[in-house]
Structure 1
Amino acid sequence: MTEFDAVDGADPAATVNGSAPAVAVNGADPVAADVPIRDAATVVLLRDSAHGVQTWLLTRVAQMAFAPQMTVFPGGRVDPTDSSIALVATEVAARFRCSELEARSLVGAAARETFEEAGVLLTSPPLHLGADRSEDVEAGRISFGDLLREHFVAVDESLLRPWARWVTPAGETRRYDTRFFVAAMPIGAHAEDLTTESSTASWVTARDAIAQFESGERLILPPTLATLHSIAAHDTVEQVLDAAAGRDLSPVRPAVTVDSDGMRVTLDDGTVYQVQAPPAAPPASV
């Protein structure tokens, strides 16, 4: 599962409900009745490089029904078992202004998705396992909580710093309240492309990813792009982590309009993002 697709999820900003004539995105009904908002978590893995802060980015396969070929961070929706993972999430609860139970679910989902999709464990003490164990968790052969207990480790809340919050606007057939976390790559850990939903995965500086978007080389939807811009404002991972404590975590509720110029996503502060459409792709496989 990825940032935009937790089995069947939608991107927090990819909906159309603005003042212009409504147009469906990837089959979404612009006048659909309001639907419940589900919790989701996204993790921005970070590491330092000679050219700036790098982030671990996935490119979704062209055959995906939603957001094909888009650049994403690891992430997905919260599963019911995530709240049962042994961890403390007091600080996350305070920062996101939610209950500690909800915070545990968010941190658990963030850690689980990072392990499933990148093979990286955010635990104390540090632990490094092979890709086969990530596959076991994703396939349901063992729960993430049981895996941690098997190795006598626990998710370390301090490694996951709250960074942003995006909520899918009304009108989309699936809605998510997605909390974004930043996390420094643990020493000795190695990220891998472990999800079948991505065609490529690699470390890219936030600044390079933005430049690739601006040149048309890389497709990026607004939540990811806004996050990359906020990361690119810093020169080191330490600066990013230090900045996390002062971040405004008010929900971002984008307004999306479609007119003769295409699709635009407008944020509360007036920032406007023009959304690129992916090129035609082969039919999705069954």
Structure 2
Amino acid sequence: MTAAGAARDLTALRDAATVVLVRRGVDGPSVLMGMRGAKAAFMPSKFVFPGGAVDPEDAGTALAAEPDTAITARLQAEGRSESNVTPRQILVAALRELAEETGLLIGKPGQSDMTGYREAGLVPDASGLRYVFRAITPPGRPRRFDARFFLADAATVHGDSDDFSRACDELSHLHWVPMAEARRLELPFITEVVLAECAATVAASGDGPLLAPASVPFFDNRENRSRFIQIGSEE
């Protein structure tokens, strides 16, 4: 690839956020997944977690509480010089995409301009999100994202976690999948990797609050050669 081509790939990157929602019960943990449409430009007909690109409007949306300082620091680590997206925007985008694609809300009572939250009288709350993974789409794909993945407990969802009546049509077959069986679905490679990381975090958390990982795995595909590092590692 020429230098000009590489530059075009970098500028095509969009910041994105994804929520891995886990529901724990006597039969073991389950995760919420849906299938992308067969004609989708990115990962068609694959089962994925709810998520999508960060929007400029996300910068103006307030959260119920300030982001955790450790999450903020990690979201800023290994940043891209061409992106001015803030940690707050990424967290807001994660909750907005969850609301749009599943109809599920994580918030506290209050007034917000975000669709879904406004009607429910809630302000989006990111305090329960655990930053667990980051991945940049390799060059040559029809869409390229710098995606951050957040793990969240379904116990923090406002209302019925089985009610997807307010979801948009971007994901079909929304359902809770036992974590132990999720790999049987048609998954993108990166979704399989994130799933394994989340399963390990859930297992380590036991019945208590979801733990924050000691470091965040990062698949960095900004260049032709993939690079795997740990964000926040002391090594």
SS in 1 for 2:132: strand
SS of the residue corresponding to residue 59 of structure 1 reads strand
Aligned residues: 212
Give deviations 1:65-124, integer Å, cap 9, x for gaps.
332210100000001110111122243312322699711101110111111111111112
Tell me the residue number matched to 1:200: 173
CA contact (8 A) 2:136 2:147 kept: yes
The match for 2:94 among 89, 110, 119 is 110
Relative to structure 1, the CA distance from residue 102 to residue 166 in structure 2 (aligned partners, 3 Å threshold; closer, same or farther) is same
Identical counterparts, % of pairs: 32
1:157 and 2:157 equivalent? no
- Whether the 8 Å CA contact 1:47–1:53 is kept in 2: the answer is yes
Match in the other structure for 1:189: 160
Which residue is 2:9 aligned to? 34
Specify every segment of 5 or more residues in structure 1 that has no aligned partner in the other structure, as ranges. 1-16, 18-29, 128-141, 213-217, 258-265, 270-286
User: Residues 214-253 of structure 1 correspond to what in structure 2 (within 5 A)?
Assistant: 218-233=185-200, 234-235=202-203, 242-246=210-214, 248-253=215-220
**SS in structure 1 of the partner of residue 211 of structure 2:** helix
Taking the aligned partners of 1:111 and 1:181, their CA distance within structure 2 comes to 10
2:182 maps to a residue whose letter is: A
Rg larger in structure: 1
The answer to whether the 8 Å contact 1:53/1:236 transfers is no
Q: Give the 5 Å matches for 1:165-176.
A: 165-176=134-145
The answer to whether the 8 Å contact 2:10/2:222 transfers is no
- 1:144 paired to 2:134: no
| CA spacing shift, 1:243–1:196, aligned 2, 3 Å | same
CA deviations over 1:216-260 (Å, ceiling 9, x no partner)? xx21112210111123334486569543242x2253125999xxx
In the TM superposition, 1:20-31 aligns within 5 A as none
Q: 1:159 to 1:79 in 2, by over 3 A?
A: same
Compute the RMSD of aligned alpha carbons.
Answer: 3.6
Judged with a 3 Å threshold, the aligned counterparts in structure 2 of structure 1 residues 149 and 56 are, in CA distance, closer, same or farther, namely: closer
Cα separation, partners in 2 of 1:120 and 1:52, compared to 1, 3 Å: same
Residue in structure 2 matched with residue 57 of structure 1 by the alignment: 33
